Amino acid sequence: MSVTTYTVTGMTCGHCVSSVKEEVGEVPGVTGVEVDLESGRVEVTGDSPDDAAVRAAIEEAGYAVAG
Distance of closest approach, residue 23 Cβ to its own copies, in angstroms: 13
* 15: contact with its own copies by CB under 8 A: yes
DSSP class of residue 1 equals -
Distance of closest approach, residue 3 Cβ to its own copies, in angstroms: 27
Distance of closest approach, residue 57 Cβ to its own copies, in angstroms: 17
Write the CA distances from 40 to 1, 12, 47, 59, 66, integer angstroms: 23, 9, 23, 14, 9
Where does this chain bind its own copies (CB under 8 A)?
12-13, 15-16, 18-19
